[in-house]
Structure 1
Amino acid sequence: MPIKKEEFKFVNYSWDDAVANELTPIGSLVYRSNILGADQRITNTGGGNTSAKLMETDPLTGEQVEVLWVKGSGGDLRTATKENFSSLYQDKLRALDNTYQSFPNKGYKSEGEDAMVGMFKHCNFCLNPRASSIDTPLHSMIEEKHVDHLHPNAVIAVASCKDQRELTEVIWGGQMAYVPWMRPGWEAAKVCEQTYAENPDIVGILLGQHGHTNWNSESKSCYETSLWVIETAARYIEEHDKGEDTFGGAKYQSLPEQERNELLSKFLPVARGLLSNKVKFIGTVQSDDTALRFVNSVDAPRLAKLGTSCPDHFLRTKIQPLYVDFDPQQDSFETLVEKFEKGIDQYRLDYIDYYNTCKREDSPPMRDPSPTVVLIPGVGVIGWGKNKSESRVTTEFYNCAIEVMRGAEAISEYTALPMQEAFDIEYWALEEAKLQRMPKEAPLARDVVVVIGAGDGIGKETAFRVAKEGAHVVCADLRLEAAQATADELTSIYGQGIGVAGTGISSCGPAIALGVDITKRESVKAMFDQVTLAYGGIDKVIVTAGVFLAPGQAGMSNDQQFDVSFAVNVKGGYIVGTEANEIWKAQGLPGALVLTTSVNAAVSKKGSLAYDTSKAAANHLVRELAVELAPLVNVNGLAPATVVKGSTMFPRDRVIASLAKYNVEFSEQDSDDVLRDKLANFYAQRTLTKQPITPADQAEAAYLMVSGQLSKTTGQIISVDGGLHEAFLR
């Protein structure tokens, strides 16, 4: 059985004795879990469990007791810490069998199955609050000290073959036993316990349509056994791989990358709008070789119809994806949209029929019948979810399903779970309870908010404000490095992101950075195309970018200053609004546009002729765009008074000039922040509230205008100026 670590080809051997030998027993379990979870070929996101039975000191009696530490519900092996593991008294957990046996027996779906999960908390060691996994009894009933239960693509491929029992013997040479599909729970664990007892020489069990479980007396040996099980299956599949004939060979050819992305940038907003008839979705595109080989293949329609097999998969991907019968070499964009629209209508009807056919008396209400995975020949796989993380994982899971089907078709014939079994997993009361326990979604959780000018000042503060409410934030700025700095700060707070991927699984997170010059339509369009590829569309656009050029500044003539001021402050907003509107129209979903103008638009004063005039024009642009973009999009303006803090419009020399102009005392040795505070406080005394105007004040108003709380307000200019009576409406 042993394979030398340098001989592994299909999994990563990551165990490091120098690290592991310094760890506590529970630390070793966490370490093993992390390195297993780090390899997507070993187990998928959130899938699988690891455990160790360790001797602990009972806090009540002071005696040594055996405690089962097992990854709890909802955790991910790759990122798990000790806090993600539940801990249970092993003797109490085993004693629960008497409780289970007291329930009326209806096969492995006895009335006690789901009730047992609620009993686990009575076995908690040290009041550990981590919810126990449904697989907890499996880890308890296998007597070995260390147990891994995993969902590797290669193993699930074997477990999804029509002759999975026979292949188990052939591939692992009798060292793995076989148990046919059973829904995870107490009875399934009992069957595995009996199988283990009857076959003391085996190292693991293949679980039909599910994955595998293996064990050992040492943590490192258990890890190596897991790798051996997976490597052995993967090698067998590789030996039988069909090469160019995989999935029956290619029926269609992939579109070139640029052409594919151009098609996607047009199609994704349309698809998002059609899918989002109940709630909005965020998209993730996968267009790598694995995805394209499958969607382009002869067998893709047949296999897609069968659906996924592993329960972990279709909890995300639904029982099956939507396959769009699109010919990338012959069909037009309009044909793609027509076929998608017809396909989604039929999918929903089929899903409703599936629910009504399989539902039980106590089944939860039917969920949204829209597909979460869409397959398009020549284009790739598109996953949809309530946020970027969910859509990415959905797409990742279907990628796993593709690999499972590839392996199964290479060595045998792929089979999926029976429809009723799939339904019982999808609408399992325990899964429904997990959904109900999830926290309420943040107000902007399903929204994509583009903040232009996010590199600093009001824009940066606005990006942070909408991110706080759950938005997916696009930090756009003329200076890409400044936008990236803002996006990096947001991802450090809200999660990891890795930019925009044109191919493969787009793994951007809650914030991305893009460069844009709003005076150039081609730059704005390219920016929106990238946003669409990253998330599937847009919802809100907030423009805080602007320019202030005082007479004589930057070596420009007055005419040049007018040209630049109007290009940025007026035409830029026009270009952004009209380009965004193309996406809003394609989606058919309500949107919001906020343009930052200025109270200077209503107040005539000396020294800012080009700026003030352009901002007055921007005020009217707000009203004109409100008319043009109605009724789908609300357009409003944010009119700040002088915001000194954090603004690039107030470099040190301008601040000093202003302080000198107003006879405010200052020292050349004062820091930039001190100088800005002095000027801000001077301006504050000219207002009714006597308080400095900050970027946070503006960001709060910008958020209000895109929050939906002002959904009946459009064409309005909201001043945030501390009460500057000169700017009152006349």
Structure 2
Amino acid sequence: MNYKKEEFKHVNYLWDDEVSKPLTGVDSLVYRSNVLGADQRITNTGGGNTSAKIMETDPLTGEQVEVLWVKGSGGDLRTAKKENFSSLYQEKLDALDDTYQKFDDKGPKSAGEDAMIPMYKHCNFCLNPRASSIDTPLHSMIAEKHVDHLHPNAVIAVASCKDQEALTEVIWGGKMAYVPWMRPGWEAALLCEEIYAKSADISGILMGQHGHTNWASESKSCYETSLWVIETAARYIEEHDKGTNTFGGAKVDSLSNEERTALLSKFLPVARGILSNKVKFIATVQSDESALRFVNSVDAPRLAKLGTSCPDHFLRTKIQPLYVDYNPEQDDFEALVAKLNDGIEQYRVEYAQYYNNCKRDDSPAMRDPSPTVILIPGVGIIGWGKNKSESRVTTEFYNCAIEVMRGAEAISEYQALPQQEAFDIEYWALEEAKLQRMPAEAPLARNVVVVVGAGDGIGKETAFRVAREGAHVVCADLRFEAAQKTADELTSIYGQGIGVAGTGISGCGPAIALEVDITDRSAVKAMFDQVIMAYGGIDNVIVTAGVFLAPGQSGMSNDQMFDVSFAVNVKGGYIVATQANEIWQAQGLKGSMVLTTSVNAAVSKKGSLAYDTSKAAANHLVRALAVELSPLVNVNGLAPATVVKGSTMFPRDRVIASLTKYDVEFTTADSDDELRDKLAMFYAQRTLTKSPITPADQAEAAYLLISGQLSKTTGQIISVDGGLHEAFLR
């Protein structure tokens, strides 16, 4: 290695001897993988492989045998654990050479290459169930203890140049060999094995259009060699960087942050609706300096049309993005939408032509021909996926593709994979099998559900209920801290969406927290704008926020109680519904809304005049909104009865007042939960089911109303009251 630790500028040197020293065997391999994956400039999410050949005790013979541990299919280096690595007897892998020779190799889509993959199972050590990567033979055939196969932007930039072979010699001074593009598999590994065996003085191999492989006898040395390969390429690119002339210079000026946000808040729902002609998509926006430099540039249309080069990239981004020829200084919003419509229509036609021109007899059926990446000058990059994680990674991968193109254009001329080669990867039977093995999507996996009042009680329980069905949950509440707590709890269960450092890619995951006062239209609009920027649109809105004000406890006059009760319980729902409807209409996608009312709307009780009449009005608001928002949006009401547990409407003093009113025994030493349980049991005895009514009961009904299972139900009030016969319809 030619660089000291502190000299690295284009990668992070993260190896810590104190951490690594006590680690042995697979644990050491996992550590190397994690520190490599921690730097996004080194390899893509889910991309790259690391391996180590380790002596293990055979469980049958008790003898020492050499075992190849290699990151398995579908794993990610940054987060990999031992269970993400496959383990195979090295001796059995060696024996598969003879097996490969028996297969009839008929070209890039050869049955022989595909038939080798199932053979790896026969080599598994200790019945390890982790599926082996297609790069397994590459790690097996390089006769070094430690091997890294990576996809760094700087190296792929060299591998995507017109004169990539000559540059390999120039940049790495003969320390890197070169092989032209070959589909990953046994044949490519055999070629690398031959080069390795003949060239004792090389440290690695540049693989055309793909990445690089390097090796060492020690794990730390292998790590440092990987960094040396990347740093050397990045420095060469830096020396030839074109500065302001990168990508031919700027053709369009960027919008200001405020202008861009205002445009996107209108545009994203429209784009989501146009794209979602078959299934719905979730968006991720990237508008940082590097993204804008590319989309604003003279060369962006040309390079975008060429498409991506690395297979890891276009499996996510499709063979090319959609470039929208938009100029913010000349085109208005309607022009942008028209150009998007025309662009998507043409993209789908061209994608179908690409499929039909390249398909083979055994090719899987054509997938959705819509673009997954949209480039808009002055605005940035919009990535789309089935969920936030996928759209974020798609955007990340195209960001990597931009860096590859930048580097290639700086030192030579960028070239993409030929369409047939790209197709053979995109529609490879093994990739299709991987897609088919994926678990079925959860019912709400592609939905964005806004829960207003998610800080506690029914709202919090509802947020958890819809999250279990795969929804992206917006936890909105008047109290931001309470909303954030709910979102944090959901994130701890369902995972963290992590933005990519330095890319401007948003990092929201399955849940976000937002503050909102539903009596303030500007606050509600601002909340929905943030939802759009996070996910691209909305699907379902559930309002559980409400207020109960009792005489003598609220400190308000009767007039004030009416004003506040109607402002929150009636007008608040109206404001949320009408603001949400603007988004639903822009999307043109079916939506649903649930407003929480109360059985008190039908059963009047002494001491709750303002509350009861406001909830009666809310019931009619449900019916009126169902008419106004039809046929696109279903609107229904959820009418709970005396949900004491977890409700802010039942503070200790109100609970004590109610227990006293109904002569229910209690002591001042009772805890808040004990007091609430006593009151809940009292209320339960007045119902037909004799069971306390919980937030979970309400959440189940709220979920049912947005799930699609009641798609023909609108304008209805569903009572979840344990069976209060006084509230029966008359």
TM-score by length of 1: 0.99
Structure 2 partner of 1:361: 361
Other-structure match for 2:441:
441
Q: Is the 8 A contact 1:285 1:503 kept in 2?
A: no
SS of residue matched to 1:420: helix
Aligned positions of 1:544-583 closer than 5 A: 544-583=544-583
**For residue 453 of structure 1, what is the aligned residue in structure 2?**
453
CA contact (8 A) 2:49 2:148 kept: yes
Task: Compute the displacement of 1:426 (Å).
Answer: 0.4
Alignment-derived partner of residue 654 in structure 2: 654
Match of 1:343 in 2: 343
Q: What's the offset of the Cα at 1:553? A: 2.7
Contact 2:385-2:391 within 8 A present in 1 as well: yes
Deviation at 1:109, TM superposition (A): 4.4
Distance apart, 1:107 and its partner CA:
4.4
> Does structure 1 residue 592 correspond to structure 2 residue 592?
yes
Question: Does 2:390 match 1:390?
Answer: yes
Q: Counterparts of 1:435 and 1:106 in 2: how far apart (Å)?
A: 25
What's the offset of the Cα at 1:538? 0.1
Give the aligned CA root-mean-square deviation in angstroms: 1.1
| Structure 1: gaps spanning 5 or more residues | none
| 1:87 and 1:128 in contact (8 A); partners too | yes
State the 1:604 CA deviation. Answer: 1.4
Report the alpha carbon displacement of residue 556 of structure 1 after superposing the two structures with TM. 1.0
Q: Percent of aligned pairs with the same residue? A: 85
Quick check: 1:242–1:410 contact (8 Å CA) kept in 2?
A: yes
Q: Would the alpha carbon gap of residues 708 and 108 (structure 1) be closer, same or farther in structure 2, given more than 3 Å must change?
A: closer
Q: Does the Cα contact within 8 Å between 2:518 and 2:568 map onto a contact in 1?
A: yes
AA partner of residue 632 (structure 1): L
Moved more, 428-437 or 327-336: 327-336
Do the aligned partners of 1:501 and 1:534 also contact (CA within 8 Å) in 2? no
- Cα separation, 1, equivalents of 2:60 and 2:378: 64
Distance 1:97 1:59 in 2: 25
Task: For 1:396-407, list aligned pairs within 5 A.
Answer: 396-407=396-407
**CA deviations over 1:591-633 (Å, ceiling 9, x no partner):** 0000000000001121000000000000000000000000000
> Cα–Cα, structure 1 residues 498 and 610, in superposed 2: closer, same or farther, change >3 Å?
farther
Query: For the Cα contact (< 8 Å) 1:69–1:85, is it kept in 2?
Result: yes
Q: Give deviations 1:297-332, integer Å, cap 9, x for gaps.
A: 000000000000000000000000000000012210
CA apart distance, 1:460: 0.1
Partner deviation per Cα, 1:101-128 (whole Å, 9 max, x = no partner): 0011324543210111100000000000
How many Å apart are 1:355 and its aligned residue?
Answer: 0.3
Matched ranges for 1:217-366 at <5 A? 217-366=217-366
Q: One-letter code of the match for 2:645?
A: K
Question: What's 1:182 paired with?
Answer: 182
Matched residue type, 2:282: I
Following superposition, the deviation at residue 505 of structure 1 comes to: 0.5
One-letter identity of the residue aligned with 2:56 = E
Question: Which residue in 2 is equivalent to 1:216?
Answer: 216
Q: Give ranges in structure 2 of 5+ residues lacking alignment.
A: none
Q: Check the 8 A contact 2:108/2:424 in 1, yes or no.
A: no
Q: How far apart in 2 are the matches of 1:682 and 1:386?
A: 47
Q: Post-superposition, which runs of at least 4 consecutive aligned residues in structure 1 deviate over 4 A?
A: 498-503
CA contact (8 A) 1:288 1:504 kept: yes
Residue 69 of structure 2: aligned partner: 69
Deviation (angstroms), 1:197: 1.2
Q: Answer yes or no: is the 8 Å Cα contact 1:500–1:512 preserved in 2.
A: no
Shift of 1:686: 0.3
Distance verdict in 2 for CA 1:503–1:675, change over 3 Å = farther
- Residue 167 of structure 2 corresponds to which residue in structure 1? 167
Deviation of residue 26 (structure 1)? 1.1
**CA shift for structure 1 position 70:** 0.1
TM-aligned CA deviation for residue 501 of structure 1: 12
User: How much has 1:498 moved relative to structure 2?
Assistant: 6.2
Code of the residue aligned with 1:134 in structure 2: it is I
Query: Counterparts of 1:213 and 1:24 in 2: how far apart (Å)?
Result: 23
Q: Which amino acid aligns with 1:47?
A: G
Secondary structure of 2:554's counterpart equals helix
Distance 2:367 2:250 in 1: 35
Contact 1:163 1:412 in 2 (8 A): yes
Residue correspondence of structure 1 range 533-552 to structure 2 within 5 A: 533-552=533-552
Distance across 2 between alignment mates of 1:62 and 1:330: 76
In structure 2, the residue matched to 1:639 is 639
Question: Contact 2:389/2:497 (CA < 8 Å) preserved in 1?
Answer: no
SS in 2 for 1:2: coil
1:714 aligns with 2:714: yes
The structural deviation recorded for 1:503 is: 8.7
Q: How far apart, in 1, do the equivalents of 2:654 and 2:613 lie?
A: 20
Other structure's SS at 2:232 match: helix
8 Å CA contact retained: 1:597, 1:639 = yes
Q: Distance in 1 between matches of 2:200 and 2:421?
A: 31
C-alpha distance 639-503 of structure 1, shift in aligned 2 (>3 A) = farther
Question: Does the CA-based 8 Å contact 1:301-1:323 persist in structure 2?
Answer: yes
Deviation track 1:172-196 (CA, whole Å, cap 9, x = no partner) reads 0000000000000000000111111
Aligned to 1:666: 666
**Alpha-carbon distance in structure 2 between the residues aligned to 1:507 and 1:452:** 22
AA aligned opposite 2:366: M
The 3-state SS of whatever aligns with 2:604 is coil
How big is the shift at 1:3?
1.1
The one-letter amino acid of 1:540's match is N
Find the counterpart in structure 1 of residue 475 from structure 2: 475
CA contact (8 A) 2:139 2:147 kept: yes
One-letter code of the match for 2:452? Answer: I
CA distance in 2, matches of 1:57, 1:371: 50
Alignment correspondent of 1:24: 24
- Secondary structure of the 1:554 match is coil
Following superposition of structure 1 onto structure 2, how do residues 412-423 of structure 1 map, counting pairs within 5 Å? 412-423=412-423
Aligned-residue offset at 1:555 = 1.7
Q: In the alignment, is residue 100 of structure 1 matched against residue 100 of structure 2?
A: yes
